[in-house]
Amino acid sequence: MISGKEKLIVVSNRVPYNVKKVKGEIRYKKSVGGLVTALDPILCRRGGQWIGWNGYSGYSRELSGELVVGKDCDQEGYSLKLIGLSAKEIKNYYHGFANRSLWPLFHGFISQSYFNKDYFWFYRKINNRFANRILEEINGDELIWIHDYQLCMTPASLRERSKKKLKIIFFLHIPFPNFEAFRVLPWDREILKGLLGNDLVGFQTSRDAYNFLECCKNILDLDVDFKNMKIHYKGRKIEARGFPISIDFDRFNTLAKSRETVKYRKNIKDLGGDAKVVISVERLDYTKGIKERLKAVGRFFTKYPEYLKKVVFLQISVPSRTKIKEYIELKREIDELVGSINGKFSDGLWSPIQYLFKALPQQQLAALYKYSDICLVTSLRDGMNLIGKEYASCNVSQDGVLILSELTGASYELGSNSLMVNPYDTDEVADALKKALNMHRATRKKMMQGLRKTIRENNIYVWADNFLDYYSKPS
Ligand code: F6P
């Protein structure tokens, strides 16, 4: 059940389907990433509207009609309202300011952040365009829920453009940096003021919320009530809170239990007969620590050669932001690393790393999670990380082990029932792998049951209810 009476308008950079008209026919391609995984089930169940970019350059007027998705027997479904971007706008707003300035900065990769006036000019322009598009869809009674770092300036822009008292809430899916890191951004004040257009700003952890408030205090010189996590600004009260996001536990659990998974069991067997399988899945992104993980895999076989031919690493990297220089270089480096590790350790038909560079359908992914003995998450920084949650939800036999980076938001909730590692410490990761492979079944079961209980109880619907109820409660 998801609470709330008002019509819900979700706004994010991308809608959950990339939508294009080809030869007179509308084609949909599911978008990837945590935001879609988390929010699509909420809107399917509750209904409403999702406003965002169609995922391609250009826009045909024909796509502005009613596009309804996610509707089936027990689901409301919801409508998509699309925004078009030109190639130049994508280059500067999306590839540029969002993903070469804010993304690295917010993840603590300051030396990889590029600051460029054109990038920012386009960012502001497109954030204003989103505000205008929202205004076309509302009469003022709706609850407008804006998402993520691509749209930090849309809330204030929307409020300035409307004469009504709008209800605007926001959720940041990535970390919010501390004051010393955030102040590096030449447009730090503009970003903060943009976010202060909201009534409630949600973050993955309370630490992120605290960082945001501290920036408001130190950069904008605002009076912040840290005890109640509130700011008074332009006659309004704005709250900042941590709301750790989750997934649809039942959906993943059901997918993993379905008969369909059986046909994929063979895929796993083909990887290495009776070898134990370690799975890693993510968008190909430098924040995910894929290079560092591959180095740890090399270290593992060097340090513990008794596992040669007994373990296989299944690395699934989903193509993402493939036009950005840093991602192109990373892809090349990963290809080389996989090649060199496989070259060094392969024996007969056995190779230590099986590498897929593609997105897999959820049913197949659920099966791969189900039949994998260990899930290895080594993000160098991650707002939350939903992969560990997906893995545990699919581990219906309850005997898998999650190795989890302590630098993820997820580690606050899942850390006590996983093996926590510092992803930069290759020896620690190699040792954790050995420990997981040798862990007694009863211990594995106890930890996995703990993980599954946490995720079942704090599933995505509970998260949405908490967020929306928090906003609606009288203060
Ligand atoms: O979770 C962070 C995020 O940037 C989301 O906002 C986005 O949906 C996802 O990752 C995928 O990123 P992109 O839309 O750039 O492919």
State in Å: Cα 283 to ligand 1 middle: 9
Q: Which residues contact 306 (CB under 8 A, 6 or more apart)?
A: none
Three-state DSSP at 182 gives helix
Three-state DSSP at 153 gives coil
What are the distances in angstroms from CA 308 to CA 13, 270, 346, 373, 403? Answer: 44, 16, 8, 16, 20
Query: Dihedral of CA 460/466/471/472: which sign?
Result: positive
Q: Return the structure tokens found at 147.
A: 């998402």
pLDDT value of residue 26: 85
Instruction: Name which residue sits closest to atom 5 of ligand 1, judged by CA.
Output: 35
Can you spell out the DSSP letters for 355-406? EE-S---HHHHHHHHHH-SEEEE--SSBSS-SHHHHHHHH-TTS--EEEEET
Q: Which residues contact 233 (CB under 8 A, 6 or more apart)?
A: 196, 222
Gap between the Cα atoms of 388 and 233, Å rounded: 38
Work out which ligand 1 atom sits closest to the CA atom of 36: 8
Give the length of the chain: 475
Beta strands in 100-226, from DSSP E residues, in sequence order: 143-147, 167-171, 200-203, 224-225
Strand 167-171 versus strand 143-147 pairing type:
parallel
State in Å: Cα 107 to ligand 1 middle: 13
Instruction: Name which residue sits closest to atom 15 of ligand 1, judged by CA.
Output: 321
Work out which ligand 1 atom sits closest to the CA atom of 35: 8
Work out which ligand 1 atom sits closest to the CA atom of 173: 1
pLDDT value of residue 169: 97
Work out which ligand 1 atom sits closest to the CA atom of 34: 1
- As to burial, measured by CB atoms within 10 angstroms (0-12 exposed, 13-18 middle, 19+ buried), residue 342 is middle
Q: Which residues contact 126 (CB under 8 A, 6 or more apart)?
A: 85, 89, 93
Work out which ligand 1 atom sits closest to the CA atom of 148: 6
pLDDT values of the chain reduced to their tens digit, one per residue, 475 residues: 445 578 999 999 999 998 888 888 888 888 877 788 888 888 888 889 999 999 988 877 767 777 888 877 577 789 999 999 999 999 999 999 999 999 999 999 999 999 999 999 999 999 999 999 999 999 989 999 999 999 999 999 999 999 999 999 999 999 999 999 999 999 999 999 999 999 999 999 999 999 999 999 999 999 999 999 999 999 999 999 999 999 999 999 999 999 999 888 877 777 778 899 999 999 999 999 999 999 999 999 999 999 999 999 999 999 999 999 999 999 999 999 999 999 999 999 899 999 999 999 999 999 999 999 999 999 999 999 999 999 999 999 999 999 999 999 999 999 999 999 999 999 999 999 999 999 999 999 999 999 999 999 999 999 999 999 888 876 6
| CA–CA–CA angle 291, 294, 298 (5° rounding) | 140
State in Å: Cα 348 to ligand 1 middle: 39
Q: Which residues contact 265 (CB under 8 A, 6 or more apart)?
A: 367, 371
Q: At what angle do helices 188-195 and 154-161 cross, to 10 degrees?
A: 60
pLDDT value of residue 1: 41
pLDDT value of residue 475: 61
Work out which ligand 1 atom sits closest to the CA atom of 94: 15
| CA–CA–CA angle 205, 190, 409 (5° rounding) | 15
Instruction: Name which residue sits closest to atom 11 of ligand 1, judged by CA.
Output: 33
Counting Cα atoms < 13 Å in the Cβ hemisphere of 209 gives: 24
Choose one of 91, 283, 317 to mutate for the ligand 1 pocket test, by most ligand atoms within 8 angstroms of C-beta. 283
Work out which ligand 1 atom sits closest to the CA atom of 149: 6
One-letter amino acid for residue 11 of the chain = V
pLDDT value of residue 433: 98
For residue 30, the surrounding DSSP H or E stretch is: strand 25-30
Gap between the Cα atoms of 144 and 6, Å rounded: 9
Beta strands in 136-229, from DSSP E residues, in sequence order: 143-147, 167-171, 200-203, 224-225
Choose one of 11, 97, 320 to mutate for the ligand 1 pocket test, by most ligand atoms within 8 angstroms of C-beta. 320
For residue 237, the 8-state DSSP code is E
For residue 335, the surrounding DSSP H or E stretch is: helix 325-345
For residue 293, the surrounding DSSP H or E stretch is: helix 290-303
3-state helix, strand, coil in the chain (%, to 5): 50, 20, 30
Q: Which long-range contacts (CB under 8 A, 24 or more apart) does 34-38 make?
A: 34/173, 34/245, 34/383, 34/384, 34/385, 34/386, 35/147, 35/148, 35/173, 37/247, 37/386, 37/390, 38/173, 38/245, 38/246, 38/247, 38/386, 38/460, 38/463
Ligand 1 pocket: which residues have CB below 6 Å?
A: 13-14, 32-36, 148, 173-174, 320-321
Three-state DSSP at 100 gives helix
State in Å: Cα 13 to ligand 1 middle: 8
State in Å: Cα 381 to ligand 1 middle: 15
pLDDT value of residue 148: 98
Gap between the Cα atoms of 249 and 77, Å rounded: 19
pLDDT value of residue 30: 83
Q: At what angle do helices 154-161 and 117-137 cross, to 10 degrees?
A: 50
State in Å: Cα 74 to ligand 1 middle: 28
Choose one of 17, 31, 93, 149 to mutate for the ligand 1 pocket test, by most ligand atoms within 8 angstroms of C-beta. 31
Nearest to 174, CA basis, from 101, 84, 231: 101
